[in-house]
Every structure is written in structure tokens, then in C-alpha cells.
């Protein structure tokens, strides 16, 4: 039986990698792993790694594409959710987002999970979630 091992990376289209990369590095702690540019097709890509776990996010800028605002109600990406190990860690993320001036909402959904919802510079919905049954 064919099986997938894990998600290797997630690629997000952004309007300006020069604006988005510093935000993902500063706010979410990603590290720049690689940059590439394809002048012929107007593509700029920056691969970002999350420290320690090998998860990657690739930010892609399409120079010749339309630039409508992000809308999770359109077909395609709805949101990206990152998990943390505990409610205490989620609290640290709330403080970090506030320190960086990133607006967010903390909600419980479904019962037993707390989710902090916020948006990147292009309005892409991001979440950090923790299992609320964890006493830490």
C-alpha cells in the first residue's frame, strides 16, 4: 500500500517576499534556508525552516499574477495551523504576537482545543493551537 510519510513543505503565494520573509522570521521564528529566482517566469521563492522539526514553509512571489486579497472562503487554502506542546506554550505565543503588534483572537474550538488565530502581512489566516486538556 502506498503511504505518505509527512508533509515536506507548504508553499504560500505572497505579494512581496521582501515584506513577508522578515515577518515570518521575526514573528514565527522561521529561519531562511534557501532563496531562488526565476526571472523568465517572474518567480521569487524563499524556503523557511521551523527550528528543530524540519517543517518548511516556502513563500512564493509571482510577479505577473493578479493580487486580490487573500480570502479563505475561495477554493484553495483556508488556513495553516501550527501545533504547540502545551497551553503554557500557547500563552507564550500569545505574548510574542502581542509584543510584535500582531492582532489575534484566542478561541476554544472544538471543545478541548484552544486556537490562537491571526493573519500574516497578506491576510493569510494562521493558527497556533494547543490541547486544553494539557495541565501545563
Q: Over the stretch 50-64, which tens digit does the pLDDT of each residue have?
A: 887 768 999 999 988
Q: CATH no. for residue 11?
A: 3.10.180.10
Residues 61 and 82 grouped into a single domain:
no
Boundary-marking domain end, from 17, 35, 65: 65
Closest alpha carbon to 126 in 135, 134, 116, 136: 116
In a domain, 70, yes or no: no
Reported as a single tens digit per residue, the pLDDT across 15-24 is 999 999 999 9
Mean pLDDT (whole number) for 34-53: 91
Residues 54 and 84 grouped into a single domain:
no
Residues 19 and 58 grouped into a single domain:
yes
Reported as a single tens digit per residue, the pLDDT across 63-117 is 887 878 888 888 788 899 999 989 899 999 999 999 999 999 988 777 788 999 9
Number of compact structural domains in the chain: 2
The two beta strands, 113-119 and 104-108, are antiparallel
- pTM for the structure as a whole: 0.87
- Enter the C-alpha cell of residue 136: 501545563
Domain hosting residue 132, numbered range: 77-136
Closest alpha carbon to 128 in 102, 89, 98: 89
Amino acid at each position: 500500500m502506498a503511504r505518505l510519510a509527512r508533509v515536506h513543505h507548504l508553499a504560500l503565494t505572497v505579494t512581496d517576499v521582501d515584506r513577508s520573509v522578515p515577518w515570518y522570521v521575526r514573528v514565527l521564528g522561521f529561519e531562511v534556508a534557501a532563496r531562488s529566482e526565476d526571472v523568465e517566469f517572474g518567480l521569487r521563492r524563499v524556503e523557511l525552516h521551523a527550528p528543530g522539526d524540519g517543517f518548511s514553509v516556502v513563500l512564493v512571489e509571482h510577479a505577473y499574477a493578479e493580487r486580490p486579497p487573500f480570502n479563505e472562503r475561495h477554493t484553495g487554502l483556508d488556513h495553516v495551523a501550527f501545533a504547540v506542546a502545551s497551553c503554557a506554550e500557547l500563552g507564550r505565543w500569545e505574548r510574542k504576537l502581542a509584543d510584535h503588534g500582531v492582532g489575534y483572537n484566542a478561541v476554544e474550538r472544538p471543545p478541548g482545543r484552544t486556537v490562537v488565530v491571526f493573519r500574516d502581512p497578506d491576510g493569510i489566516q494562521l493558527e497556533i493551537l494547543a490541547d486544553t486538556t494539557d495541565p501545563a
